[in-house]
Amino acid sequence: AQKVTQAQTEISVVEKEDVTLDCVYETRDTTYYLFWYKQPPSGELVFLIRRNSFDEQNEISGRYSWNFQKSTSSFNFTITASQVVDSAVYFCALRLYNQGGKLIFGQGTELSVKP
């Protein structure tokens, strides 16, 4: 069965600290896609990044970086020098090539960045 686990329910950091949000996924499929979404307190879901299963290159976008490791089935998200505006719930999601459009979401990690 397919599953996404975000073991950290809540994380609290002080501004300017680095923080890593963990995501572990389970699937026997060889072709799949991984995503991160951000849900700020206002409630909308904002797309952050997509990764294909055959592309293990890590990615950096400003203060955000993502580490994809197929060997450990992990797709972790790091925020460098966190800011108060980063406070949100972050969701990792999996979509299988052979399962159409269904996104399988993790339970989310609530990040609180304090000034």
Partner 1 sequence: DAGVIQSPRHEVTEMGQEVTLRCKPISGHDYLFWYRQTMMRGLELLIYFNNNVPIDDSGMPEDRFSAKMPNASFSTLKIQPSEPRDSAVYFCASSPTLRDQPQHFGDGTRLSIL
Which x/- pattern, by CB under 8 A, does the window 79-108 give for partner 1?
Answer: ------------x-x-x-x--xxxx-xxxx
Structure tokens at 65: 């970086």
The yes or no reply on residue 28 touching partner 1 (CB under 8 A) is no
Task: Find the shortest distance in angstroms from Cβ 81 to partner 1.
Answer: 26
Nearer to partner 1, 46 or 84 (CB): 46
The yes or no reply on residue 43 touching partner 1 (CB under 8 A) is yes
H helices within 1-115, ranges in order?
none
Q: Which residues pair with 93 in a beta bridge?
A: 35, 105
Q: Give the three-state DSSP class for 97.
A: helix
Backbone angles phi, psi at 69, to 5 degrees: -130, 105
The yes or no reply on residue 33 touching partner 1 (CB under 8 A) is yes
Q: Which residues pair with 66 in a beta bridge?
A: 59, 77
- Residues within the interface to partner 1 (CB under 8 A): 33, 35, 37, 42-47, 50, 52, 91, 93, 95, 97, 100-103, 105-108
